[in-house]
Chains A and B, each alone.
Chain A
Amino acid sequence: MSNNNKKWFSLNLGRKEKTSSGSCSCGKTSGGCGSSSDSHHMTDEAFNEAAIHASIGEERTKDGFEQVFDVKMDRRSAFKKLTASLLIGAGAVSTSCSVISGDESKEKAQIDWEEQFKGNYKLMTDKEKEGTVDRLVRSYQLRTGKNISMSSKNAEEDVLFGYAFNISKCQGYMDCVNACVEENNQDRNSQMQYIRIHEMKDGKGFNFNEADDNYYHEVPAEGHFYMGTQCFHCDNPPCVEVCPVQATWREDDGLVVVDYDWCVGCRYCMAACPYDGRRFNWSKPEVPEAEINHNQHYLGNRMRKKGVMEKCTFCVQRSRAGKNPACVEACPTGARIFGNLLDPDSTIRWVLENKKVFRLKEDLGTEPKFWYFMD
């Protein structure tokens, strides 16, 4: 407990550290940078074992970003948190001077400190991006003993992602919804889902008001058709405009992403989105350890913490590697088409040029990169 409390405020004052990435890349942040690299006499394996035993204990069963960053606390320590700013100074000094706490908990403390005071991912150099990803991977390893792979792959040149949805084909099976949740490590408790499938009555047009997006009966239902919505990755995204801290932005390949660590949780973007594309972590997100997708991207499906926004990223961890998003892959009817809008030979381009396509709420000028079409 005391270890946990201290980790927020610790500075790196003469602590011996085993450098994992070679560089400490938080040059811009205010945290204690310039850690001395020194030889560490444990082997990696032994170190891991020790770290797990020493540091996590009962926390091992916990999930999500929570176990990485949040401090377990009772009501009394919650009050302490209220005056955290006053404690920072004292806490920092006490931890860094303490000789009792083990080396691994000091490493954790160091990582947490640097993570707390790192900059905005959007403005980071590639080296800094690698640095924070390394820290997050290491932190996860220290706390759970499990390895994850996290990518910080940037947008490729000459790529602009687009998506097309065939209304005639969708049968409403919702396989996409499940695949999305499994791929993107969404909170299981609140049953957060990025995708909504709207069951619409034939002959009523696209009447969302009367559509049901949470049906449970055999599908396709007689006299109905199905229309999926998710984040449309607008080219002129209102959510990005309104963010006060630029925690969300449009990448060069068209993906609208969120830096979960930079988000302050004001939910202005949520109010600004005309497409219900954004989700908020009202409480700490939890995913059973066995169900965690370990193939992660910093901007994609890595573990979130409570009080931050998240959204569909067209599975950035997959799409930037050349795979289709999980929803596209899971769709048994081929109603979902994904590809590079800049490639004249791509299938998505063929759809846009040869089918009668439309988008939702085009009059708002948001320029979604998500088209609907019919056979």
Chain B
Amino acid sequence: MLYPLIDEQEMIKEVARKIAEERIVPKRAELDEKEEFPWDILKEMAQADLFGIFIPEEYGGLGFGAFENCLAVEQIAWGCAGVATTYAASGLGAYPILLFGNEEQKKKYLPPIARGEKLAAFGLTEPDAGSDAGAIKTTAVKDGDYYILNGTKQWITNAGEAEIYTIIALTDKKKGPRGASAFIVEKGDPGFSFGKREKKMGIRASATGELIFEDCRIPKDRLLGREGMGFIIALKTLDYARPGVGALAVGLAQAALDEAIKYAKQRKQFGQAIINFQAVAHMLADMATQIEAARALTYTVCKYIDTKPKDFSKYAAMVKLFASDMAMKVTTDAVQILGGCGYMKDFPVEKMMRDAKILQIYEGTNQIQRNVIARELSKEYK
């Protein structure tokens, strides 16, 4: 076996795969077509313990790490990248609480996330602050025992569906990025509402929307860490989440390769299966090789993260960059191999190609990933 797994890891993989095969694959085309949020599937995933994989046992989780989480994300993404994005985004929303929350915050918020009873979300991006995250304008002003939030977050995954949001807002505008802080905001908090629900090219089963804060009043104990730590929390959270995007890309690309091979073996032209033509066979060989390389990088970095290194930004960025570029290429080639069928909605690969594009964009564009890697390289070689 190329990647030996211990029994528990094998179990996690099997459970996620079973959900993908039996619950997600039969419904994915419909979820995509109707832009329907997959609550039924998420409930099944919750029942199967998938939401608590990396959350410690004392907070209701299973107490595994980034690697086990990535095994699950990969299998769910094999079924549907939209469902996998919803799933992984709840993890993204949980990480700031897990990494920087105090004991009360962890005890209050992590168990319902681990049980899958409540979804979490993470809100950093704003209309004028995407790659330039330091340009956020949302403010949080202290008022006695409360903070009052004002501003708008944009393109937030799980917006409206999640119950628990980690929001980055400025507590001291003069300090710029150093004046940002992270807060837990709950659905239903006064002054917190949801704006436009986006219509997307891909991952259409996932919800993406606006968070609107209008004099949103939250108790001061919702502050994560200390004032001014907002960007440290955001960047660390993204470091943990990016290998998850890698796992998502590997699962999605594997699904596209599986479809391409199945088709190439049964499609006959010029009197034989098209897999017998070198032009097709070499494409499949390249796709399989690229997937394996991305999987190896993803698994290796996830296992490294589980050794609790001080800094792994560079490797997290590499996984996200390499695996998402790979998934875009592999899904595009899968459409090419299926030819006319590949372009039709009767076959799943056109959806996979649409879904793959976002992986190069969200959680930091691949251009930003290169910046992160280059910055680290520059530090290493000074």
Check if A and B associate: no
| Contacts from B to A (Cβ < 8 Å) | none
